[in-house]
Amino acid sequence: MRTILLFLATCGLGGASAQVHLDAPLRFTAGDSAQRQVQGLAAPSAEGDLITLGDAQRGTVHWASAAGTANAITLNARPPVAAYREGLRLRFLPTLAAGAAPTLNVDGLGPVPVLGPELTPPPAGSLVPGRLAEVVWADSVFRLVPRPVDGCPTGFLQVHDGLCIQQDDGANVSVFTALRQCADRGARLCTWDEYLYACTVLNGQLTDLFNDWEWIDDTSDHTHTGNQAGRYYCAQQRSWPAAEHPNAYGRVRCCHRIR
């Protein structure tokens, strides 16, 4: 042990560096407590390495580089992640807007679903280029750490400080498909009051308005019927069969809450 410590001291005085493995506990006994320290730790390159306060403050061990596709995101962490473990936390900048059901594959460990705070697909606009994303591994999935979203996701118009609405309406589908399509985008069907207000204030900006009935989600939904609005004017509303049949279809225009 004495030989090793003398070697370390010699290297330190000479401005050199060395890698030493100790097979016994190391005790610092200098009279000055400020001198009881290890200096010159390199950046960690493996999970078992020590990190400096500077590395911890910079968060370098939680950073990963993103690549892949909209629904299959790949992350490369430094140091590499050896296994998915509870509490694993990673931050990255997406290179593409995420698709409806994105997965993360960290250092080749395999694709894992990414879910939002409510264990549903990530909210629209939460995984887009240039916006920092943070995920935590828990219960065999990556959970997206919620962050305030500034403005509206792509394809949405801002109604007021807390609400966005989809600019164009989608294809004719059943109410069940409409609900699923909005959820897949991290959004939902508009309530009656949201639709009426958005239709009124953004009348000239919403695409394909008044070309067909559009599904909404309201308290008068029933087991066998759903609600539609906006066929010829904003305040128009009706109940319509909730069924998987072309005669029971309507357009889809989703709403998104800004958090």
Give residue-wise pLDDT tens across range 93-136: 999 988 888 999 999 999 999 998 778 888 777 888 888 899 99
Residue 179: phi, psi to the nearest 5?
Answer: -60, -45
- pLDDT value, residue 113: 95
- pLDDT value, residue 55: 57
Please indicate whether residue 52 or residue 34 has the higher confidence score (pLDDT). 34
pLDDT value at 17 more than 70: no
Q: Write the DSSP assignment of 122-156 as a string of letters.
A: PPTTSS-TTS-EEEEEETTEEEEPP-PPPS--TTE
- pLDDT value, residue 13: 42
- pLDDT value, residue 125: 73
Overall CATH class of domain 156-257: alpha beta
- Dihedral sign, CA of 109, 111, 112, 116? positive
The per-residue pLDDT of the chain, averaged, comes to 83
CB 189 within 8 A of CB 216: yes
- pLDDT value, residue 23: 72
- pLDDT value, residue 47: 64
**pLDDT, tens digit, 9 for 90 and up, residues 153-168:** 889 999 998 899 999 9
Q: Which of 34-38, 121-125, 157-161, 204-208 has the lowest mean pLDDT?
A: 34-38
**pLDDT, tens digit, 9 for 90 and up, residues 209-218:** 999 999 999 8
Question: Mean pLDDT throughout 129-147?
Answer: 90
Domain boundaries along the sequence of the chain: 60-144, 156-257
- pLDDT value, residue 69: 94
CB 136 within 8 A of CB 114: no
Longest CA span, the chain:
90
- pLDDT value, residue 245: 93
H-type alpha helices, 148-217: 175-184, 192-201
3-state helix, strand, coil in the chain (%, to 5): 20, 25, 55
Q: Which residue has the tokens 């066998």?
A: 224
Question: Mean pLDDT throughout 246-258?
Answer: 94
- pLDDT value, residue 147: 73
CB 254 within 8 A of CB 157: no
